[in-house]
């Protein structure tokens, strides 16, 4: 059994890791940390996890976490993860960082996140978009992608890879759980119910990951919607030349994602319901007649494929397990 | 024109007063207070009110508020209203208190709210459930009822008045705006969406108002539901003797509420939609066959009939206006 | 492996059976019927089930279904199930009927459902509320309980069993999926969003099951709420004598449900979230001070413990498996 | 008083006209038609309108409607409006058509809507986007704009007018009431709650109105969201040259919309809440740094500014009333 530790076990990313890992046949949770809730049983704070986890939250140092774990999931906010990762790496433990801290080169990180990167080294983290980066299997440190980039990049990668793309506008709509477990103005029910709120309209930092991975002209605007989970990305893709027939583009997607078990190409429109609670990314393509536009829609669960599930998918690859181990179940419909 | 001041203009009760009063043909808003937002334009904090109100929030003392107003709405939390009311009364201004501070006798208030009542006097506030207390027309001080008691008492009063009732179980369901404008665990979208949360299950303080007004055995349990506005009250009324026929009970309601313009007796089931944004209380009666139970369902908008609208209805009565002035419009359906 | 057939595989009960059974380690789905969608792949109609089920909907007769199955789940509306059950029983196959057709004695069924019972025999169906009826383990035919009775009876049974109860008012709130997969006025988003709708206020037929199982005076009113899943039942229990202390009642529940893995007694308030997607029934007790009232709140997922999950729990018992086989996972929170 | 008739008074457009017109100080509703509900009181079908309308639905011919009305609102589906308009015009009554039938030239209509236009004449309907077409004041026939074009065109018109635009991607999100009052798969609560559904992804017919009015390269994709009302349009505007400073663009909008009372330029992000139930269009502009992209977000209530409210605004203009008569009230927040 793989001993797995979680640094930061009270946010949505942390409890989603727990929800999935307690059911994983090859994993034992060894330690879950929280300064604030030290000594409290995890299932007292989150009763849906009873009786699946016996652990209490602990406040222990990096060294002890590493000693007690084969793999450590770092589920703290960006800017904080880099406090833990160097120490964990020094102990030789495998690390999957769910924050933004290792997704970009240090210089780019500092430019985009407007803060100093505290890690002394430029670490060779693999960007853990599993379907595009099989080299995660060899990695010691995986930078788990942002939720928006996961949906956006998976939607556009096959067309970009085929060198067909001129520019892309990603218009993304996220469930409010993406804003975290702490109550805020935005997550206040009377503010978000019966509403949809665009934010960081021209300046969301996730665009840096999209540009890195795709290498074409990318625009991005995110919105939160009155749903708990899910990200639907509407990718308005403008082609370099006249549009291709629908079938040709579908064939490109089928080839590109052949054998990728978590990518489901849809004839109809992808829906957040179908991926609810799962690690799937559903994708549908619509070619506009007499136009250079193709619209690719992707649907993911922001907390699973867009976060904790993809982290576990990466762990599976890193430990030589089947990619889908512990992640292979249908979504919650209705 | 009646000059109206509002003490506490940033909570939901306050902004709902403003929404309604800016449209009231006989009222000019004279002053709206807030310590926290002093100097900020009301319509900057709440842009839906632009350009209907020019005022800035002010932080002025009771004396000045009274001087600038014919009527003052006190829209601060219970325990705080009593800091303002004595001073306002001393200035001879008409006062409508939307808090709980003057709804109960002082001794009872202290027992129920577990705090000392700071007002030196036992004031003769009229309980402003307008349909049941026409004497509000003569009052200087009206204690505007709680949102739950408004829906509950209006549902049951005709049967109680007819001396038919043995006991009542009020099971109430409120939109989350009843929990206020401040984000909280309960109002956090991922917590209340796809959920319904009972709270203060056997101990909500509003039951004291219900018992005062009805004088029969009353049980009460409130819940919050994933809706912004509205209170639906399911009153399980147990009769002292065998049930009466449906028509007889309906006749009792018709007589009791004859001429009450904001009470609408429904043949079908009342719905929160039909009262959304309005001062109506819709009521429907269902007699259970071969049983001593009658179920009366009432629907109100918690912020209008259950709060600010009823306060304005009381103001209308106190100033000799038509009861429905400024409050006569249909609900927002769909 | 147990070969399981499903009669009626397109409603919410049917697809929830499929969602759960495709993950069940001891079950192979052998046949899923639908007249309307004969020949269509199940995962084409319900894409969240791709690629977990390869089957197409079939329109085959009772005899063939029985031949291809060790157990048959009958997931058609009440009034229709009785067309299938006699034939299935005649073939010696184990049957779990999710409709109302075998929950009551024939005479009572005909009175309550106002239709003739077409089965020639008075069959000895066991009422499949697993925690209260361990004799399901010996049954050939299980009548799976209604969704409301499941939540209501589990909430009240320990107090009734202790002979403490005078009468009970069950006020239940259900997610709209309880109204089925077919669009209707009630399930139309603009009608149910921002609303809560009581229905069959004094006459819902599920009350017959509650009275049968509890044997005390029971009143029942159901509501639908703007949530997809879940039933929260607020049981206002009136005791025969003065109230007992909270601890004493909790001890009664602990004893009564000792070893019942799907019953979780909660210190706080049960929540629909914690049981979302699961077979758990969470229960919380609140004793009212100086009163004969105890409020017991239960939360279930109407489609799992209130339907398909409980049916599988019954199947597990009937086939000598662990009660929780295929049903042991935490809820989807947030 | 203006006598107003409504052809088609049972859909959302029709009842929203009634909700607004019963409060309009210069209008008397003279006739409301429905074949299906002939003889039924409007307020029996839609109880939120009680007691504001006494009328029953009638099934009378065009001639009689025209005789009893000064203005007729045609609120039937496209393809049907053209059955009524010629007859109404022949009677000399003023007509406001809320369908698509007169928004495009006949030839273009037939191409876009793939059906024959039954009107013998090519009528000179004015496109009733009031802020852009003051000539509605002189019109006999106004073609009220589609809901999506209203939000989209108002967002982009100032930049287009300033000849700054290269191309625009409109990504629109509509409340589900836009799909109408009839229950459907899409409006079924379990399908749209916790979801967002793109539809007619590259082929929605409203794009023709946008192209007509704007005359630049336009792409359009609509979505429905789990809200009752509202359309939020995210206009990704690509400029012909390098971006202008934020202040310069804001100045363009201020000039363009000077004196337009229903356009509110926002410093923050527009929100569906602020326009809920109102005729306002709120607009916010975000210039992307170092980019040719400007994102303009507009928010309207699809049933008011996007439909019935704008129709009344047009009526006001056509009858020489103040533009905002009967439409001047703040939105329902929270």
Note whether C2-123 and C147-302 share their fold: no
Does C203 sit within 8 Å of B288, measured CB to CB?
yes
Choose among B48, C176, C194, C196: nearest CA to D228: C194
Output the pLDDT for position D273.
95
- Out of A219, A223, A234, whose CB is closest to D293? A219
pLDDT at C41: 98
User: Distance (Å, rounded) from C-alpha D72 to C-alpha D50?
Assistant: 22
Residues B272-318 pLDDT 10s = 999 999 999 999 999 999 999 999 999 999 999 999 999 999 999 99
The model's confidence at residue D244, banded by pLDDT at 50, 70 and 90, is: confident
Given an 8 Å threshold on Cβ–Cβ distance, is A47 in contact with C282?
A: yes
- Which chain A residues are Cβ-neighbours of D229 within 8 angstroms? 194
pLDDT band at C117 (very low <50, low <70, confident <90, very high): very high
A320, two tokens = 């030589």
Classify each residue of C268-301 as buried b or exposed e, where b means 16 or more C-beta atoms within 10 Å of its C-beta: ebbbbbbbbbbbbbbbbbbbbeeebbbbbbbbbb
DSSP assignment of C171-229: EEEEEGGGG-SS--TTTBHHHHTT--EE-STTT-TTHHHHHHHH-SEEEEEEEEES-SS
pLDDT in tens, C287-322: 999 999 999 999 999 999 999 999 999 999 999 999
- D80 has a pLDDT exceeding 90: yes
Q: A163: closest CA among A49, A255, A260, A239? A: A239
As a whole number, mean pLDDT of residues B79-90 equals 97
CB contacts of D12 in chain C (<8 Å) are 190
The band of A244, judged by pLDDT with boundaries at 50, 70 and 90, is confident
A220-233 pLDDT, tens digit per residue, is 999 999 999 999 99
Instruction: Give one DSSP letter per residue of D63-100, joined into a string.
Output: HHHHHT-SEEEE-S-TTTHHHHHHHHHHTT-EEEE-SS
Residue C243 pLDDT > 90: no
pTM of the model: 0.98
Instruction: Determine the Cα angle at B316 with ends B310 and B322, to 5°.
Output: 110
In this structure, the number of other CB atoms found within 10 A of the CB of residue D111 comes to 11
Contacts of C330 in chain A (CB under 8 A): 19, 22-23, 48-49, 52
Check whether the bond before B334 is cis (ω within 30° of 0). yes
Contact B299, B316 (CB under 8 A): no
Q: How many angstroms separate the CA atoms of B201 and C295, rounded?
A: 7
> What secondary structure, in 3-state letters, does A70-94 show?
CEEEECCCCCCHHHHHHHHHHCCCE
Q: What is the pLDDT of residue C131?
A: 98
pLDDT band (50, 70, 90) for residue D243:
confident
pLDDT for residue B242: 75
Q: What is the mean pLDDT of residues D286-301?
A: 97
Full strand arrangement of the beta sheet holding A71-74: A27-33, A2-7, A71-74, A94-97, A141-143, A126-127
* Cα–Cα distance measured from residue A170 to residue B329, given in angstroms and rounded to the nearest whole number: 42
Give the model confidence (pLDDT) of D210-223 as tens digits.
Answer: 999 999 999 999 99
Tens-digit pLDDT profile for residues B9-60: 999 999 999 999 999 999 999 999 999 999 999 999 999 999 999 999 999 9
Average pLDDT over every residue of A165-192: 98
pLDDT in tens, B124-138: 899 999 999 999 999
Cβ–Cβ below 8 Å for A334 and C12: yes
Predicted confidence at residue A321, as pLDDT, reads: 98
The answer to whether B24 contacts chain D (CB < 8 Å) is no
Q: Can you tell me which residue has the tokens 């976060």?
A: A307
Please identify which of the residues A15, A143, A147, A299 carries the catalytic annotation.
Answer: A147
| Residues forming beta bridges with residue D263, ordered by sequence position | D281
Q: What residues of chain C lie within 8 A of the CB of A48, using their CB?
A: 273-276, 278, 330-333
For chain C, what's the residue count? 334
Residue given tokens 């088609």 in the structure block: D8
Beta bridge partners of C217: C167
User: What does DSSP say about strands A197-198 and A217-225: parallel, antiparallel, or unpaired?
Assistant: antiparallel
- ipTM rounded to 2 decimals: 0.97
Give the domain D2-123 fold: Rossmann fold (3.40.50)
Instruction: Give the SS3 label for residue C323.
Output: coil
* DSSP state at residue A217: E
**pLDDT value of position D98:** 98
User: CA distances (Å), B159 to each of B237, B238, B265, in order?
Assistant: 9, 10, 14
Q: Which residues pair with C58 in a beta bridge?
A: C33
- Is C242 a residue whose pLDDT tops 90? no
- Which one of C151, C168, C170, C171 makes the best mutation probe of the B interface by having the most chain B beta carbons within 10 Å? C171
Q: Which residues of A touch C51 (CB under 8 A)?
A: 264
pLDDT at B268: 83
Q: Where are the alpha helices (DSSP H) in chain B?
A: 12-21, 42-45, 62-67, 81-90, 106-113, 147-161, 189-192, 207-214, 246-256, 272-275, 309-318
Q: In what order do the strands lie in the sheet with D27-33?
A: D27-33, D2-7, D71-74, D94-97, D141-143, D126-127
Burial of residue D39 (number of CB atoms within 10 Å: 0-12, 13-18, 19+): exposed
Pairs across C and D, CB distance < 8 A: 50
Helix axes A106-113, A207-214, angle to 10 degrees: 140
Q: Which residue of B has its CA nearest to A194?
A: B228
User: What is the rounded (10 degree) CA torsion for D136, D142, D147, D153?
Assistant: -40
Task: Please give the average per-residue pLDDT across C43-64, as a whole number.
Answer: 97
Contact B8/C at CB under 8 A = no
Chain B residues with beta carbon closer than 8 angstroms to that of C230: 194-196
- Say yes or no for a CB contact (<8 Å) between D236 and A225: no
D12, D229, D333 member nearest B48 (Cβ): D333
Chain A residue whose CA is closest to D217: A291
Confidence at residue A154, expressed as pLDDT on a 0 to 100 scale = 98
- The partner residues of D239 in beta bridges, in order of sequence, read D165
- Catalytic positions of C are 147
Regarding the domain delimited by D147-302, which CATH topology (the fold level of the hierarchy) does it fall under?
Dihydrodipicolinate Reductase; domain 2 (3.30.360)
* Domain ranges across chain C: 2-123, 147-302
At C151-173, the pLDDT tens digits run 999 999 999 999 999 999 999 99
Q: Is A184 helix (H, G, I), strand (E, B) or coil?
A: coil
Contact call for D277 and B332, based on CB within 8 A: yes
Is the CB of D188 less than 8 angstroms away from the CB of C193?
Answer: no
Q: Does D288 touch chain A if contact means CB atoms closer than 8 Å?
A: yes
Give me the mean pLDDT over the C71-81 stretch.
97
């Amino acid at each position: 059994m793989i001993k797995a530790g979680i640094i930061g076990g009270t946010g949505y990313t942390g409890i989603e890791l727990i929800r999935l890992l307690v059911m994983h046949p090859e994993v034992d949770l060894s330690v879950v940390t929280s300064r604030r809730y030290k000594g409290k049983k995890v299932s007292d704070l989150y009763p849906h996890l009873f009786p699946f986890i016996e652990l209490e939250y602990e406040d222990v140092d990096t060294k002890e976490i590493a000693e007690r774990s084969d793999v450590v999931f770092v589920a703290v906010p960006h800017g904080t993860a880099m406090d833990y990762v160097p120490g964990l790496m020094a102990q030789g433990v495998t690390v999957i960082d769910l924050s933004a801290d290792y997704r970009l080169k240090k210089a780019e990180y500092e430019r985009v996140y407007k803060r100093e990167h505290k890690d002394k080294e430029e670490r060779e983290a693999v960007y853990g978009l599993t379907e595009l980066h099989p080299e995660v299997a060899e990695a010691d440190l995986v930078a788990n992608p942002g939720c928006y980039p996961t949906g956006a990049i998976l939607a556009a990668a096959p067309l970009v890879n085929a060198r067909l793309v001129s520019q892309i506008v990603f218009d993304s709509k996220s469930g409010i759980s993406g804003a975290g477990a702490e109550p805020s103005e935005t997550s206040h029910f009377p503010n978000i119910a019966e509403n949809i709120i665009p934010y960081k309209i021209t300046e969301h930092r996730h665009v840096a990951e999209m540009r890195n991975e795709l290498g074409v002209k990318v625009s991005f605007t995110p919105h939160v919607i009155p749903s708990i989970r899910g990200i639907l990305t509407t990718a308005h893709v403008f082609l370099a030349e006249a549009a291709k027939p629908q079938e040709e583009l579908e064939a490109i997607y089928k080839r590109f994602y052949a054998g990728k078990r978590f990518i489901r190409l849809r004839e109809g429109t992808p829906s957040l319901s179908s991926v609810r609670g799962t690690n799937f990314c559903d994708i549908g393509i619509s070619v506009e007649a007499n136009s250079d536009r193709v619209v690719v829609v992707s649907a993911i669960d922001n907390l699973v494929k867009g976060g904790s599930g993809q982290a576990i998918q990466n762990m599976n690859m890193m430990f030589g397990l089947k990619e889908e181990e512990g992640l292979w179940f249908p979504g919650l419909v209705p």
